[in-house]
Amino acid sequence: MLSIKNLHASIEGQEILKGINLDVKPGEIHAIMGPNGSGKSTLASVLAGRDIFEVTEGEVTFQGEDLFDKEPDERAKDGLFLSFQYPVEIPGVSMVNFMRTAVNEIRKHRGQEELKSSDFLKVLREKKALVEIDSKLTNRSVNEGFSGGEKKKNEIFQMAMLEPKLSILDETDSGLDIDALRIVANGVNKLKTKDNATIVITHYQRLLDYIVPDHVHILYDGKIVKSGDKQLAVDLEQHGYEWVKKEMAL
Amino acid sequence: MSTDLNQKYDQLIADNLDNVQAHSSNLLNSYRKDAQQAFHKNGLPSIKNEDYKYTNVLPLYKQDWNLPQLEKELPMNINEIFRCDVPNLDTDLVLTVNGRFHEFQGNADKLPEGTIIGGLAEMSEKYPEIVKPYLFQQAEQDTDSLVALNGALAVDGLFIYIPRNAVFEKPIQIVNLLLGERPLLTHKRNLVVADENAQSQIVICDHTLSAERFFDNSVTEVVVKQNARLEYYNIQNQHNGSSQISSLFANVHRDATFHTSTISLHGGLIRNNLRISLLEEGAHADASGLSLTDREQHVDNHTYIDHKAANCTSNQFFKSVLDDKSSTAFTGRIMVQPDAQQTNAYQSNKSLLLTDDASSNSRPQLEIYADDVKCSHGATTGQIDEEALFYMRQRGINQREARLLLMFAFAYEVIDKINVEPLALRIEDLVNKRLRGELSRCNNCEIKCQ
């Protein structure tokens, strides 16, 4: 589904990603862990198409097509979803209007008809229940005045609405208390099918107790330095990043 | 300052005085000499005048203009040319043509008893006892020479009297039409009085019906008496060869509310002067404005909220979205007089620049002489929020649509202050079309202008 080969990216001339290789297949959950500044969020942003980063080398294909040929909204329409670490507040744009526009753009792209208003509201209700999001939140402006936990739940709600092929969850657990974490993780698990894939970016192993990964990768200084199964996350939690550094002679 | 130009307008007044007086009323004429002298004394304002620093009216006055022909019968087929197309907006409609009252199309029998709606010249003859106490009582012709010019040359305008305790079910809609085959300089004088406990909504739509150049200088005096509530909406939607200076003076009495919103969609140069005096305790004013400018359009909102008594509140909220080489200006002064303790005054001015060539000037001014007050103001000028844009695009919304949603969201904060729902919906639609670059004039308009 997603194939990253030797990806290098920089911001303002400073190289952040220094040759990333990663393959994600349908049905898989990958976790990417790493210390602050290792390039986790940069990887997420580059894949989503944030133009402040410059791709200097390497290639990425998404469902067989060159990802970098496409604008951010085209990538989203193809099924790439980014759950933002810091969801943006957009005063004056209502959640309902925002989601209706997004859902219909994506449907158009898939050759489906736009949803009728009543059908749209029905889907909206179903998905709200799925992620246990407060019903009133969708009447408000996008993320405006939402608490940290509400913002993260709102990301998963949008993921539920848009039914992406590949979801990248960028530090979705940061700032969540244990209840919110459970709700968010439940939402992600319910949305899991054999056809879609998830990349979970996180600092801590905690989230991975709820969203169990098939593969765990450790990102360090812009490179994946170690990959393994879910046990790797447990070892990392026990021994810390110093252990990885020693192990890999970094 | 061009003395030749001032002489030209002194001469214009002198040449037309007899004719203007012959078509106006004794009451209006009784102020003409003062106005003429005030104009002569101060002359046209140049940009050296602090109040007109950002709006140069001289090039407009240098152009050749004609005053409307007063003898000529007004065209009788106005109704065929103009139909307001705000869907579901059920109003009592009043038409003015080239600055003069034309027709009241509402159902007079259904209005609250004692209501007066008509031409100011005619009504000031008919009801001098009602008109006289308020006419020329607020408009500052000694300090603003364009107000003086209006006082000297205005033949007519509208008079609306909302009697004590009257509650209007429908808004009164005033449609100001400009039409003609020659460039026209028009002067319109309005007076609106909402008596004690009265409640009314007034919707004003400024339109042009022919592609000729127009320059309208209108002065409106508003009185909101004790415990009354008056909402006053102005939709400025003229073609881009049409300019206007619109001065509104409002006196707000004890526990009364004046709520006003001006939406500038189209027009060449637009200057809106708003002067609100909160005269007695408990008076409240809400003033908002939204301008959407493009090409070389210019919109200047100039406000002055005078807190003269204690326990009064005022909110100002002005926004503009600027495209191409257009420009906007906002000067907002909040004056808090020594007696105006417990004043609560707020002011905000935000501009969204869509191009590098657009420019926006903002001058908030607080002048406070009382010590127990709460006043705040803020001004921002910015571009589309790139973070928000990226967030929306990441959800599959294309760049253009995402920008439109953000621009609309920016504008919506002002539209949200319009309490006449069909009107708010219509403005939403017009603003949407305007932002999409589609023509946003009323669909039923016959003339196809730029």
Torsion angle of C-alpha atoms B347, B348, B349, B353, degrees rounded to 10: 180
- Which positions in chain A have a beta carbon within 8 angstroms of at least one beta carbon in chain B? 48-50, 71-73, 75-77, 81-82, 84, 87-93, 97-98, 101-102, 105-106, 109, 141-142, 158, 162
CA-based nearest residue in chain A for residue B406: A93
Chain B hits for A48, Cβ within 8 Å: 390, 394
Provide the percentage of residues in chain A whose pLDDT is more than 90.
72
pLDDT score recorded for residue B449? 45
Name the pairing type of β-strands A14-24 and A2-11.
Answer: antiparallel
Largest Cα span, chain B: 68
Q: How confident is the model at residue B85 (pLDDT cuts 50, 70, 90)?
A: low
CA–CA–CA angle B426, B353, B398 (5° rounding): 70
Rounded average pLDDT over A34-48 = 93
Provide the percentage of residues in chain B whose pLDDT is more than 70.
93
Position A131 pLDDT exceeds 80 = yes
Helix axes B145-153, B3-22, angle to 10 degrees: 30
Q: Where on the phi/psi map is residue B319: left (φ > 0), alpha (ψ -120 to 50), or beta?
A: beta
Q: Sign of dihedral through CA atoms A146, A150, A156, A162?
A: negative
Rounded average pLDDT over B395-405 = 93
C-alpha distances out from residue A165 to A69, A78, A169, B82, B398, Å:
18, 8, 13, 54, 19
Query: Helix, strand, or coil here: A35?
Result: coil
pLDDT score recorded for residue B100? 93
CB contact under 8 A, A102 and B412: no
As a whole number of angstroms, the distance between CA B44 and CA B42 comes to: 7
Rounded average pLDDT over A112-119 = 92
How near does any CA of chain B get to the CA of A232, in Å?
31
pLDDT score recorded for residue B442? 47
Domain A2-249 coded CATH 3.40.50.300: yes
Q: Sign of dihedral through CA atoms A201, A206, A210, A216?
A: positive
pLDDT score recorded for residue A161? 95
Q: Where on the phi/psi map is residue A132: left (φ > 0), alpha (ψ -120 to 50), or beta?
A: left
Rounded average pLDDT over B230-236 = 95
What's the DSSP call for residue A70? S
Rounded average pLDDT over B372-384 = 92
CA-based nearest residue in chain B for residue A48: B394
Q: How confident is the model at residue A19 (pLDDT cuts 50, 70, 90)?
A: very high
Instruction: Assess contact for B199 and B172: CB atoms under 8 A.
Output: no
CB contact under 8 A, B392 and A98: yes
Interface-testing mutation among A71, A73, A84, A168, with chain B (most B C-beta atoms within 10 A): A73
Position B447 pLDDT exceeds 50 = no
Rounded average pLDDT over B362-389 = 93
Q: Express each pLDDT in B186-212 by its tens digit.
A: 999 999 999 999 999 999 999 888 889
Chain A hits for B395, Cβ within 8 Å: 73, 76, 98, 102, 158, 162
As a whole number of angstroms, the distance between CA B80 and CA B77 comes to: 5
Q: Express each pLDDT in A47-79 by its tens digit.
A: 999 999 999 999 999 999 999 999 999 999 999
Edge-to-edge strand ranges of the sheet holding A80-83? A80-83, A166-170, A197-202, A29-33, A215-220, A223-228
- Which positions in chain B have a beta carbon within 8 angstroms of at least one beta carbon in chain A? 385, 387-388, 390-399, 401-402, 405-406, 408-410, 412-413
DSSP codes of every residue in B205-233? EEEE-SSS-EEEEEEEEEEE-TT-EEEEE
Q: Higher confidence at residue B79 or residue B173?
A: B173
As a whole number of angstroms, the distance between CA B12 and CA B8 comes to: 6
Query: Helix, strand, or coil here: A161?
Result: helix
ipTM over 0.90? The verdict is yes
Q: Express each pLDDT in B253-308 by its tens digit.
A: 999 999 999 999 888 899 999 999 999 999 999 999 999 999 999 999 999 999 99
pLDDT score recorded for residue B437? 74
CB contact under 8 A, A101 and B394: no
Neighbours of A43 (CB within 10 A): 27
The phi, psi pair for A200, rounded to 5°, reads -105, 120
Most trustworthy range by pLDDT among B199-213, B325-339, B428-442: B325-339
Query: Who among A81, A98, A105 is closest to B398 (CB)?
Result: A105
Rounded average pLDDT over B211-240 = 95
CB contact under 8 A, B395 and A158: yes
In chain A, where the domains are located: 2-249
In chain B, where the domains are located: 2-436
CB contact under 8 A, A76 and B394: yes
pLDDT score recorded for residue A133? 83
Position B2 pLDDT exceeds 80 = no
The mean-pLDDT minimum among A64-68, A147-151, B59-63 falls in A147-151
CB contact under 8 A, A158 and B397: no
Q: Express each pLDDT in B98-110 by its tens digit.
A: 999 988 888 888 8
Which residue is it, tokens 């007696």?
B339
Interface-testing mutation among B348, B395, B413, B416, with chain A (most A C-beta atoms within 10 A): B395
> pTM to 2 decimals?
0.84
Name the pairing type of β-strands B313-322 and B229-237.
Answer: unpaired
Q: Express each pLDDT in B20-50 by its tens digit.
A: 999 999 999 999 999 999 999 999 999 999 9
As a whole number of angstroms, the distance between CA A240 and CA A238 comes to: 6
Instruction: Assess contact for A82 and A48: CB atoms under 8 A.
Output: yes
Query: Who among B391, B398, B408 is closest to A88 (CB)?
Result: B391
As a whole number of angstroms, the distance between CA A130 and CA A143 comes to: 19
Tokens of B2: 């061009």
Rounded average pLDDT over A94-98 = 92
